[in-house]
Chains A and B, each alone.
Chain A
């Protein structure tokens, strides 16, 4: 198996893992983490495809590789904005819940713990 196939298949699994975490983790910071795992899986898939395009003495196709650099930087700026939104939500409401009807302080159910 070539490196491109191996890491391409790993990327497919990373996308699945990230998608799963995005859906099941209720904490917004965990969702941001999961979204970054998903995104890195997409980048890795793109990178594996770029490596298959190696030609003309270059280790990979330089056009997708350059787009990957742009993508990583844009992903960072989106993450920074998401984290700032989350911190602001926490500062204003004292909670990080994304539920529509949640009270400012979620009550502890009797019988929990």
Chain B
């Protein structure tokens, strides 16, 4: 039964991926990619990666999908002129042969993987008690390999700086995204009033259980960012100008707290990002609490894109 489900899932994701690549319409390709991302979530569940599945559903399928749909809508009329640039048939065949060769080489590697597989699960199990958290993924993300998570938070900030730097000179410091004109009595405005309280509760729950069960700050922050975007799209509030001091402080607060706790570790535990014995859990929770609002802001602002409307007077 599980085998049939897995084979069906594999066929579906491969079919949708092929559809995304070969279909002619830009918008149809994006729609295929979103369905693909959501089905990939089920694959992660089948591979026992519930935390990965949550991240894939929230970020890989959800946020990326919204981003690409928005871009496809704005680029609606851009595809016509490019028909002249489609590679010639021999080039397409060559590309097919190269891609097939890469797939076959990877497939051979998959079949030749060592048995029993190398694993760090035993080391994680042996040391997880010292961190005070129950979810091994959280222990890896915020204790054993917390440097990765710190750098990831900073990469997100750099990406946002890159996006902002694409603003035209006269819009620098202004509001990102277009001004939304929505029927105040329509279903979108209604949903934007009803859903956020529920979304905030779900996000807080997912954030909080992340210490011991699947969940965590990224998944929680994505849901919070989605609720913020919903309210923005319904035109109930406007996006803040990017020159606002509170906005910029909010963006860097999370990584700064993370770095500060890391430096504290130099004195209390003898290593950058080290935790003194017995204080690991409260420090991990402090880092996650500080990162949650920063990640919410950075994810939402990445979706809104470069500032487009000039400085408010």
Could you name 26 residue pairs across A and B whose Cβ atoms are closer than 8 Å? A3-B2, A10-B14, A13-B17, A16-B106, A17-B103, A19-B102, A24-B86, A24-B91, A25-B21, A27-B82, A30-B26, A33-B29, A33-B33, A56-B125, A62-B124, A63-B145, A67-B140, A69-B141, A76-B302, A80-B303, A80-B305, A87-B71, A87-B166, A88-B166, A97-B85, A106-B82
Shortest distance from the beta carbon of B114 to any chain A beta carbon, whole Å: 9
Report the bound CA distance from A108 to B81 in whole Å: 7
| B124 pairs with A20, CB closer than 8 A | no
A residues apposed to B, CB below 8 Å:
1, 3-21, 23-27, 29-30, 32-34, 36-37, 40, 44-45, 47-63, 65-70, 72-81, 83-88, 90-91, 95-97, 99, 105-106, 108-109, 112
Please tell me if B211 contacts chain A, counting CB pairs below 8 Å.
no
A-B pairs under 8 A by CB, number: 286
Q: Given A49-B117, A62-B137, does the pair A44, B40 have CB atoms closer than 8 Å?
A: yes
Q: Kindly state the interface size class of chain B when it binds its partner.
A: 35 or more
| A63 pairs with B125, CB closer than 8 A | no
Contacts of A72 in B (CB 8 A): 52, 55-56, 59-60
Interface of B is mostly: helix
| B78 pairs with A23, CB closer than 8 A | no
| B148 pairs with A21, CB closer than 8 A | no
* Leading 10 A-B pairs by shortest Cβ distance: A59-B48, A16-B103, A53-B119, A12-B106, A21-B21, A77-B159, A106-B81, A66-B140, A52-B117, A8-B110
1/0 contact string of B75-89 vs chain A (CB within 8 Å): 100110111111100
Report the bound CA distance from A79 to B288 in whole Å: 24
| B106 pairs with A56, CB closer than 8 A | no
Chain B's closest residue to A75 (CB) is: B60
Shortest distance from the beta carbon of B82 to any chain A beta carbon, whole Å: 5
Of the candidates B7, B52, B71, which one forms a contact with A83 in the assembled complex, judged by CB atoms under 8 Å apart? B71
| B119 pairs with A61, CB closer than 8 A | yes
Report the bound CA distance from A26 to B88 in whole Å: 11
Report the bound CA distance from A98 to B166 in whole Å: 18
Chain B's closest residue to A19 (CB) is: B99
| B148 pairs with A84, CB closer than 8 A | no
Contacts of B47 in A (CB 8 A): 3-4, 7, 47-48, 50-51, 60
Please tell me if B312 contacts chain A, counting CB pairs below 8 Å.
no
Of the candidates B20, B86, B87, B156, which one forms a contact with A77 in the assembled complex, judged by CB atoms under 8 Å apart? B156
Please tell me if B280 contacts chain A, counting CB pairs below 8 Å.
no
Report the bound CA distance from A78 to B49 in whole Å: 23
Report the bound CA distance from A12 to B105 in whole Å: 8
| A69 pairs with B137, CB closer than 8 A | yes
| A6 pairs with B7, CB closer than 8 A | yes
| A95 pairs with B52, CB closer than 8 A | no
| B64 pairs with A36, CB closer than 8 A | yes
* B40-71 residues at the A interface, CB under 8 angstroms: 40, 43-44, 46-52, 55-56, 59-60, 63-64, 67-68, 71
Q: Given A66-B137, A80-B159, does the pair A90, B74 have CB atoms closer than 8 Å?
A: yes
Report the bound CA distance from A67 to B125 in whole Å: 17
Contacts of A6 in B (CB 8 A): 6-7, 10
Contacts of B194 in A (CB 8 A): none
